[in-house]
Structure 1
Amino acid sequence: MAASMARDSVPRATLSSEINTATRTLHTELNRLITARIPFAIPPLASDPKLYTTGLLHFAHIFLTFESLWNHLLPTNAPGTAASPPTSPLLSFLLVNPYAEPELFTCPPSPQTIAFLQNLRPKGLARSGRIKKDLQCLSGLHPTDLDVMLAQYPADKVAEFCAHIRKSVEHKPHVLIAYAWCFYMAVFSGGRWIRGELVKPGPEFWSSGTDAGAPLTERGLSLWSFHGTHDGEDIKGEFKERLLGAEALFTPDERVDVIEEAKTIFKLCAGLVHELDGMLGTDLEQLKRLRAAPPLGHQTHGKADKSEAVTSKESHQALRTWFQRPEVASATVALGCLACASVLWLSY
């Protein structure tokens, strides 16, 4: 009995800690798959923001889907819905075939779950409005044209990922916590580092002819920024404090649901990487060899060295040309965007 009492007195790990522990291996594997692609969205491999824009568009559907579903669950005046400009309230439904998925949106969550989700997201946390603002700025599209573009999926795995989100949330709305933890903590924990990398090329690289006088954190890169003097630290603290409410609210089975959904998120993100690798025929070992080649300006001596220098120059030029092809650029930067998320996740 004493041993049983001792076990009972041991503090239980928080839900967020359990998520981190359960996803550590998947997290590491996803990071291994995609970190090699980070540099492709900025110079010297990218000569303009089109690569980043394409990647952002590719990954935007995940944020738009789970945040749109979240907003549908909440009153229109809920704190989490008033934090940012309207996203596209019908987006998640526009992308659903009601005949193929007739069971969607038929199981309302419990009042306790609604109350918890209503208060989980502090003002300024939701990202969909900022993502759409960034896409509009970087693409130069009219808002209506942007909505039309967002009403179709860029690839099959993206469509499957979003369909999975809708089904999971319909049956178990509490799994939205897994998306909140994975994606919001990614922006919080590593967003400053990612933002720092993206702004290195300077305003000239990101200039799209619109809002040219605005700072980059509000012109194309607002996803990675937060309003206020604390750059999101206050929002992060409030979010984590509110998340502690899940410890008393959810049953052991519901906690497992959230943890398993977080594991699935990593697997589906890895699936996006594999899909893009298949589309591109990406050879990661070849990319490593190209990266290890001497710089273009490297001075060599002797015939063998000169030959190697020429080969290096040709390889670098071939790589640059390959990445400038539209079909390659579109998919590659999607990987870059995923890489951003992966690196951010590692920072929790």
Structure 2
Amino acid sequence: MTTGDLLARLRAAIKEPHTSIHRLNISRVPLCLPPHTDRPDLYLLGLSRYAELFYGIEEAWLSLIGDPLDWISQDTHIANVNLHTEVSSPENDLSPPEDTNPRIQTVLRTLYIPELLRTKTLQDDLRLLNASCPPATQILIQPPKHQETNTGQRIKHELRNRIQDKPHILVAYVWIMYSALLYGGRDIRAILLKAGPEFWGLSVAEINPQRRIPCPLSFWHINDEAEVKGKFRAGMTDVERLLSATEQQDILDEAGRIFGILEILTRSLDDDVKVLNARV
């Protein structure tokens, strides 16, 4: 089924849009920090929007692969105690749809690395940040139910519909979003840490780079990062042989589309900030 090096073709396809969106985001991160502001409210706003994208990816991912405890054996490199660290909750249904293509399910299971998943870290970070932010920011982050949902939530809804139609395109979302975290995330993390521990409500000891970064910055910390990067690249190499030429092209096409989504999401934050500044 293979048509060549999918990973190399993905990298080539996203090189230009990736550079553009990285610059777009990096240019805005300092605006969330001192001396531009003395509160992490703007960071909270941006994180909450991007969180919706990760929530949508991980909900779709887990719904398609099923409960990891049911298919990962006791002797794999993944300890069972860690399998549900990021995603399990009472309302989650981890039973895959009956019509799930077994081949595509294998593809998505091959890419599954528990350490990558961000749902729990995002929820924990947002909960802590939200507890200290003013009501004006809280309304922007989670509008009342009778109001229109925000851009992140609309993107999440559309993402789930697209993946339902073509489950294999989830590969594009997984590769792009978690590569951004693994490789570009270090640059953003360094900028955030320069704001100092007091800005984040932490002590000097808590923000020691040699230790796990705590909330409200735990999203940026991945256990055994070097090992995870190796597993991630290996997984992408392994799945190519399971994908048809048409599916691979769908993934390449979706990869280009994702960066358009990210630009819309980031630029919508500019409008949200204007609204926020008018309220405070």
TM-score norm. by structure 1 comes to 0.63
Aligned length: 254
CA displacement, residues 316-341 of structure 1 (integer Å, 9 cap, x when unaligned): xxxxxxx7x761499xxxxxxxxxxx
2:219 to 199, 202, 223: 223
Cα offset for 1:106? 7.4
Which whole-Å CA distance do the structure 2 matches of 1:192 and 1:204 have between them?
21
The structure 1 residue matched to 2:197, chosen from 197, 203, 209, is 203
Q: Distance in 2 between matches of 1:327 and 1:117?
A: 39
Where do 1:110-129 residues align within 5 Å?
Answer: 110-129=101-120
Are 1:83 and 1:126, in contact at CA under 8 Å, matched by a contact in 2? no
Amino acid at match of 2:266: V
Question: In the alignment, does 2:245 pair up with 1:327?
Answer: no
Q: Offset at 1:154? A: 7.8
Asked if residue 192 in structure 1 is aligned to residue 141 in structure 2, the reply is: no
1:26 maps to which of 13, 17, 29: 17
Name the SS of the counterpart of 1:193 in structure 2: helix
Give the superposition deviation at 1:40: 0.7
Q: Does 1:250 align with 2:243?
A: yes
For residues 118 and 329 of structure 1, what CA distance do their matches in structure 2 show? Answer: 46
- Judged with a 3 Å threshold, the aligned counterparts in structure 2 of structure 1 residues 160 and 138 are, in CA distance, closer, same or farther, namely closer
Counterparts of 1:212 and 1:73, CA distance in 2 = 42
Query: 1:125, CA displacement in angstroms?
Result: 1.2
Query: Which residue is equivalent to 2:54?
Result: 63
* Cα distance, 1:252 vs structure 2: 0.6
Q: Does the 8 Å contact 1:169/1:176 carry over to 2?
A: yes
1:82-93 alignment runs, 5 A limit: 82-86=83-87, 90=91
| Among 226, 241, 262, the residue aligned to 1:233 | 226
Name the % identity.
28
Shift of 1:165: 0.8
What's the offset of the Cα at 1:215? 4.1
Deviation at 1:70, TM superposition (A): 1.0
Conserved 8 A contact 2:125-2:215: yes
Deviation at 1:203, TM superposition (A): 1.3
- The residue identity in structure 2 corresponding to 1:117 is L
Is structure 2 residue 162 aligned with structure 1 residue 160?
no
Shift of 1:86: 3.3
Q: What is the match of residue 311 of structure 1?
A: none
User: How far is the alpha carbon of 1:156 from its aligned partner?
Assistant: 4.7
1:212, distance to aligned residue in structure 2 (A): 9.7
Cα deviation for residue 247 of structure 1 reads: 1.6
Structure 1 match to 2:43: 52
Contact 1:15 1:255 in 2 (8 A): yes
1:96-107 equivalent positions in 2, closer than 5 A: none
Deviation at 1:257, TM superposition (A): 0.9
Cα offset, 1:14, TM superposition: 2.0
Q: Structure 2 vs 1, CA of residues 53 and 111 (structure 1 numbering), >3 Å: closer, same or farther?
A: same
Q: Which residue of 2 is the match for residue 264 of structure 1? A: 257
Residues 113 and 228, structure 2, Cα contact 8 Å, conserved in 1: yes
- Unaligned ranges ≥5, structure 1: 1-10, 93-104, 281-322, 331-348
CA deviation vs aligned residue, 1:280-316 (integer Å, no higher than 9, x gap): 6xxxxxxxxxxxxxxxxxxxxxxxxxxxxxxxxxxxx
Q: Answer whether contact 2:87 2:117 (CA < 8 A) is retained.
A: no
Partner of 1:172: 166
Q: Kindly state the Cα deviation for residue 243 of structure 1 after the two structures are TM-superposed.
A: 1.4
Q: Please list every run of 5 or more consecutive structure 2 residues that lacks an aligned counterpart in the other structure.
A: 73-77, 133-137
The correspondence of residues 268-287 of structure 1 with structure 2, limited to 5 A, is 268-277=261-270, 279=271
- 8 A contact 1:26–1:266 mirrored in 2: yes
Q: Distance in 2 between matches of 1:150 and 1:114?
A: 35
For residues 112 and 30 of structure 1, what CA distance do their matches in structure 2 show?
Answer: 33
Q: Distance in 2 between matches of 1:86 and 1:274?
A: 29
Deviation at 1:118, TM superposition (A): 1.9
> Is 1:84–1:130's contact at 8 Å kept on the other side of the alignment?
no
Look at both structures and tell me which one has the larger radius of gyration over its CA atoms.
1
Structure 2 CA distance for aligned equivalents of residues 86 and 123 of structure 1: 9
Partner residue of 2:135?
A: none
Kindly state the Cα deviation for residue 123 of structure 1 after the two structures are TM-superposed: 2.7
Asked if the contact 1:30/1:266 (under 8 Å) is kept, the reply is yes
